[in-house]
Amino acid sequence: AVTGHLPETAGDRDAARSAHRSAARRTTSLPERRHLEARANRLTP
């Protein structure tokens, strides 16, 4: 999730979206997956 947060704060929406989606695929926690997918979706143009 940190790998998504850092580019997001730097304004690199594409890298942040990709990192959040990648982290969502790797987590085994359903609540965390939902959170990461929601963050990625917020960054979708």
Residue 3 has pLDDT above 90, yes or no: no
pLDDT of 1 > 70? The answer is no
Residue 18 has pLDDT above 80, yes or no: yes
In angstroms, rounded to a whole number, what is the distance separating the alpha carbons of residues 28 and 45? 27
Query: Ramachandran region of residue 43, left (φ > 0), alpha (ψ -120 to 50) or beta?
Result: alpha
Q: Please say if the pLDDT value at position 25 is more than 90.
A: yes
Alpha-carbon torsion, ordered 29, 33, 36, 42, to 10 deg:
-150
The yes-or-no verdict on residue 2 having pLDDT over 80 is no
Quote the pTM value: 0.84
Quote the pLDDT of residue 41.
Answer: 96
The mean pLDDT of the chain is 92
